[in-house]
Amino acid sequence: MPSSRDPRAATALTQRGRSAASGPGLPVNPPVVRMSTVLFDSLASLREAEAQRAHSERSLTYAANGNPTAFALEDLINTLEGAHGTCLYPTGLNAVAQVFQAFLRPGQHVLITDAVYAPVRRLARTLLTAFGIEFDYYAANGSDIEALIKPNTRMIYAEVPGSQTFAMTDLPALAALCKARDLLLAVDNSWGSGVLCKPLALGADISLMALTKYVAGHSDVMMGSISTTEAHFGTLKTMQIATGSTVSPDDAYLVLRGARSLAARLALHEQHALRIAQWLQAQPQVARVMHPALPEHPGHDLWKRDFHGCNGLLSFEFKSAAPGTTDRFVSALQLFGIGYSWGGYESLVSEVGVFAEGRARQVLRLQIGLENPEDLLVDLQAGFAAL
């Protein structure tokens, strides 16, 4: 395990993000401020608020430009990410789209990790193609990036680790490469959730998260965030306001409420997932287990160096390639729900499409929840028994 965790995350998660409730005698949780129109006592005060907004400063002018409950959540994410500024979006995928919209222009080129979240591939085929932005995919470990950089390359988009096979990339080395070539480095930090990994501290320019996942943690709200350094926040904020991307105060409150227990939940997810990953390694039907905390995992040393811990995600591959193997296994499970996403309190199973060494591999991804891990092991035993 990494030698040290982020010592400030647990405190920040409980103490920060109260900007909507500052002052004596107010509740510990920021109130939900529902609003659309904002009233001013004079045209001069309205103009002053607009001038602040034009300089990427917070001001209440109209709800499409933000609300006090969302501002409180932005404060919390800023602290977790070590960012100058954060913008919030309705979904994690929408946050990815805003990264591309804000920082790429027609005729430019972006390199995207081959381990990327599958809907981002669809986003690239639709949004980027429609606007004349070129893209290529690089090996998840970053081994071929330099050969793929073109004169018009503007950004490298990373996901560390990859959310299916958990491939690791050397982020500080990638950041140094980008700085030397004046490229932007954007990193999907959903796996790290602002607690386990700090991409901006490792040299990235942009860090984005699907707050839907571990930060919210209760499978009942969707949201995304983008955090940047000071040099790039103005560009991001300008695009957010131009496109009217905003989140509801009710959703912001739910994410804030879930985030308060993030550090404690991640510790349990990590403990349970490592127990199950080690157990899976001993099963005769399993070819390999993919989990960064395992010493056998490629990139384990990078994980130990750059991360503050692990979460509840792991994947494993069956030795058998017989048709129906994954279906029989999953059908026997009772505690693992079948569904998309991860990061909630519940355990989930999903099929992962991996093609390597000339064949499709039968891989399942497990989100290990907060159930008793011994109960989960009994459930997994039933799956193997069905084979």
DSSP assignment letter at 125: I
Q: In 206-261, which residue ranges form alpha helices assigned H by DSSP?
A: 230-243, 249-259
Task: Kindly report which listed range (35-49, 60-74, 278-292, 353-367) carries the lowest average pLDDT score.
Answer: 353-367
User: Distance between alpha carbon 187 and the CA centroid of its chain, in Å?
Assistant: 9
Q: Supply φ then ψ for residue 67, to 5 degrees.
A: -140, 160
> CA nearest 195: which of 217, 221, 174, 175?
217
Average pLDDT of the residues in 51-55: 77
Q: Please write the tens of the pLDDT for every residue from 100-137.
A: 999 999 999 999 999 998 899 999 999 999 999 999 99
Average pLDDT of the residues in 333-357: 88
Average pLDDT of the residues in 139-155: 96
Q: Count the helix, strand and coil residues of the chain and give each as a percent rounded to the nearest 5.
A: 40, 20, 45
Whether pLDDT at 28 is above 90: no
Between CA 142 and CA 146 the distance in angstroms is 9
Average pLDDT of the residues in 152-160: 97
Whether pLDDT at 237 is above 80: yes
Whether pLDDT at 20 is above 80: no
Give Cα separations from 331 to 286, 338, 350 (angstroms): 17, 9, 12
pLDDT value of residue 57? 73
Q: What percent of the chain has pLDDT over 90?
A: 80
Between CA 218 and CA 216 the distance in angstroms is 6
Beta-strand relationship, 109-113 and 153-159: parallel
Average pLDDT score, the chain: 92
pLDDT value of residue 359? 55
Q: Which two tokens stand for residue 315?
A: 């994947």
Between CA 11 and CA 17 the distance in angstroms is 11
Rg of the chain, C-alpha, whole Å: 22
pLDDT value of residue 4? 46
Neighbours of 319 (CB within 10 A): 13
Q: Please write the tens of the pLDDT for every residue from 351-371.
A: 987 655 545 577 899 999 999
- Strand ranges, E, within 152-274: 153-159, 184-188, 206-210, 224-228
Q: How confident is the model at residue 18 (pLDDT cuts 50, 70, 90)?
A: confident
> CA nearest 6: which of 308, 335, 328, 303?
308
In terms of Cβ atoms closer than 10 Å to its own Cβ (0-12, 13-18, 19+), residue 372 is: exposed
Give Cα separations from 22 to 17, 28, 65, 111 (angstroms): 10, 9, 21, 43
- pTM metric for this prediction: 0.93
> CA nearest 302: which of 162, 193, 194?
162
Q: How confident is the model at residue 25 (pLDDT cuts 50, 70, 90)?
A: confident
Whether pLDDT at 55 is above 90: no
Whether pLDDT at 173 is above 60: yes
